[in-house]
Amino acid sequence: MNKTIQPIKILEEKIIVLLNKLKENHLDLVKFKDLQSSLELENKILKDKILKLEDDNKSLKVVNNLLGSNEGKLQTKTKINNLINQVDYCIQQLSEMN
């Protein structure tokens, strides 16, 4: 009888160890899911900041060009000429309507 009890005890101990390991793995999984969520949120915030900074950078370049910076002068002149052409076209369309 003692011979059959010994393997059962060993098996029980192994099962307890495995259950404890399973519990640890589950806790780690929950912790990593929380970490993933917070990192995804942080990533979204940083992407939004990058987009805002890129927009600010574009605006600053335009302002810089308008204030006389040599960089991108041709680009600024082209934009202004396009705007003038659009306004002229609108005026022409309005004149034709009257």
Whether residues 33 and 46 fall in one domain:
yes
Containing domain of residue 58, as a range? 2-67
What CA–CA distance (Å, rounded) separates 96 from 78?
Answer: 27
Are 31 and 54 members of one domain?
yes
Please tell me whether residues 52 and 82 are part of one structural domain: no
Residue 67 is given by DSSP the state T
| Six-digit token string for 55 | 């927009």
Query: pTM for the full model?
Result: 0.51
Q: CA 70, CA 62: separation in Å to the nearest integer?
A: 11
Same-domain check for residues 43 and 86: no
Are residues 62 and 76 both part of a single domain? no
pLDDT at position 16: 96
Q: Supply the mean pLDDT for the chain.
A: 88
Between 84 and 72, where is the model more confident?
A: 84
Q: What is the pLDDT of residues 12-49, one digit of tens each?
A: 999 999 999 999 999 999 999 999 999 999 999 999 99
Give 3-state DSSP helix, strand, coil % of the chain, rounded to 5. 90, 0, 10
